[in-house]
Structure 1
Amino acid sequence: MRICDLKQKEVINVKDCRRLGFVGDVDFDIQTGKITAIIVPGPGCIWGFLGREKEYVIPFCDICQIGDDIILVELKEKKEKE
């Protein structure tokens, strides 16, 4: 799977069935090449043009399943970066 494939998937929190948005970016470990987290822009953010309110930084270990259209995550608490 490529990073551009991840960006086309919607992220949904399985705890409250809330739609978080689409993957905007990924963090990865340079030494191992493994993805460490996915980043989902918060509401009202479109590629950073309309302001950068909040974004969800979701560790890879919190991803439950990656499907054809969606990514299911289990957020125990809000993990936002301001």
Structure 2
Amino acid sequence: MVKTSELRVKDCINLTDGRRLGLIGDLELNLAEGRVEAVVIPGPARFLGLGAREPDVVIPWHRILKVGVDVILVRTD
């Protein structure tokens, strides 16, 4: 079993291109069915952290391939 606090400190890596997506900032939950629908990675800050951020990256739970000790491996298009 993995706690949400443990998920928030793991890097998400996209296996399609090897890019680091960032750390999980939030979860989308389906309370009626009691399951996680997606993880949300906050978009990177724009210039020097000033102003608006880039859009968040939402990764559906079925796209998560492996939750490892240090990283979460995902496959996105």
Task: State if a TM-score over 0.5 links the two structures.
Answer: yes
Matched with 2:15 is 14
Query: What's 2:69 paired with?
Result: 68
Shift of 1:43: 1.3
Taking only aligned residues, the RMSD between alpha carbons, in angstroms, comes to 1.7
Count of paired positions: 73
Percent identity of equivalent pairs: 37
Structure 2 unaligned runs (5+)? none
Work out the CA distance in 1 between the residues paired with 2:27 and 2:45. 19
Structure 1 residue runs without a partner (length 5+): 77-82
User: How far is the alpha carbon of 1:4 from its aligned partner?
Assistant: 1.0
Match of 2:60 in 1: 59
Q: For 1:37, what is the secondary structure of its paired residue?
A: strand
TM-score, reference length from structure 1: 0.81
Does the CA contact (< 8 Å) of 2:44 and 2:53 recur in 1?
no
Higher relative helix content:
2
